[in-house]
Copies of this chain bind each other. A is one copy, B any other.
Amino acid sequence: MELTAGMVTVRDLAYSHDGCEMRGLFHVPHGASNLPGVLVVHGAHGLGDFIRASSERLAREGYAVLAVDMWGGRKLLTDPALIGPQLGAFVQDRGMWMGRLAAAQAALATQPETDAARIGAIGYCFGGASVLEMLRTGAALAGVVSLHGGLDVVGDDWAGAQPGEALICTGADDPLASPTDLARITAGMGRAALDWQADVYGGTLHGFTEPDAPGRPPFARYNARADRRSWAATVGFLAEVLC
């Protein structure tokens, strides 16, 4: 499948890891080449419309963008009862977690439109934790952005990190991103001499960029101000570290 919507070309991008077949969506400005690449890592719900829209917006900014498919087969998790076990499986098996992301990064880097020397990553919720974990465990990424990432599942030992920067955009009232976890992670980055910035939004819960929908937990709420500001910060950060 290859569709050209406006100025952005969108095509399926299949890759695999350890027997899991994943089907990401690659977005790139039509006719462009030699672009910095950005992975977009979804939250609990999978590669749905929200992630497609975010990836298309980033492509319009001049990036080769791969919306990754963490669950495989482009599965969407619509039953809230399945979310905890699904995320737990990845947190318990970090080899699987990072392995799938490494496969996505390799797939992005080898697209003809991508400049493999300039790759960054952004992620939402579980995806925010994912991109921080990639940076922490040694992925070659110029910069990563965590948008309401679940900071509680990010590890402590940053000694294996390669040079790279992080931007952490987080709600002050997000129970998955306590001040203690934020301080723990930034201390780790500091020990590893990684540059970091944390933008904390007052009066803001988890999941602030994503539209509210039935079944949303009470600790997640859309916040237009934090959505707008975190997107501006993300675009500015990516331009700085990748362009």
Show the binding face of A for B, using Cβ within 8 Å. 172, 179, 183, 186, 189-190, 193-203, 225, 228-229, 232-233, 236, 240
A195→B225 contact, CB < 8 A:
yes
B199→A199 contact, CB < 8 A:
yes
Quick one: given A172-B190, A202-B189, A202-B190, are A229 and B197 in contact (CB under 8 Å)? Answer: yes
Q: Closest 9 A-B residue pairs measured CB to CB?
A: A196-B202, A198-B200, A199-B199, A197-B201, A232-B236, A195-B202, A190-B202, A186-B202, A195-B203
Q: How many copies does the complex hold?
A: 2
Provide the residues of chain B in CB contact with A225, threshold 8 Å. Answer: 195, 240
Provide the residues of chain B in CB contact with A183, threshold 8 Å. Answer: 179
| A183-B200 Cα distance, complex, nearest whole Å | 11
| A9-B88 Cα distance, complex, nearest whole Å | 61
- Provide 5 A-B residue pairs closer than 8 Å at the C-beta atoms, listed in order of the A residue: A172-B190, A194-B202, A197-B199, A198-B200, A233-B233
What's the minimum C-beta distance from A151 to chain B, rounded to whole angstroms?
14
What's the minimum C-beta distance from A161 to chain B, rounded to whole angstroms?
13
Provide the residues of chain B in CB contact with A228, threshold 8 Å. Answer: 240
Provide the residues of chain B in CB contact with A202, threshold 8 Å. Answer: 186, 189-190, 194-198
What's the minimum C-beta distance from A127 to chain B, rounded to whole angstroms?
21
What's the minimum C-beta distance from A188 to chain B, rounded to whole angstroms?
11
Provide the residues of chain B in CB contact with A193, threshold 8 Å. Answer: 203
What's the minimum C-beta distance from A181 to chain B, rounded to whole angstroms?
13
What's the minimum C-beta distance from A20 to chain B, rounded to whole angstroms?
35
Residue of chain B at shortest CB distance from A228:
B240
| A220-B36 Cα distance, complex, nearest whole Å | 35
Provide the residues of chain B in CB contact with A196, threshold 8 Å. Answer: 202-203
Provide the residues of chain B in CB contact with A232, threshold 8 Å. Answer: 236
| A229-B237 Cα distance, complex, nearest whole Å | 9
Provide the residues of chain B in CB contact with A197, threshold 8 Å. Answer: 199-202, 229
Residue from A196, A199, A202, A203 whose CB has the most chain B CB atoms within 10 Å = A202
Residue of chain B at shortest CB distance from A229:
B197
Provide the residues of chain B in CB contact with A201, threshold 8 Å. Answer: 197
| A195-B225 Cα distance, complex, nearest whole Å | 10
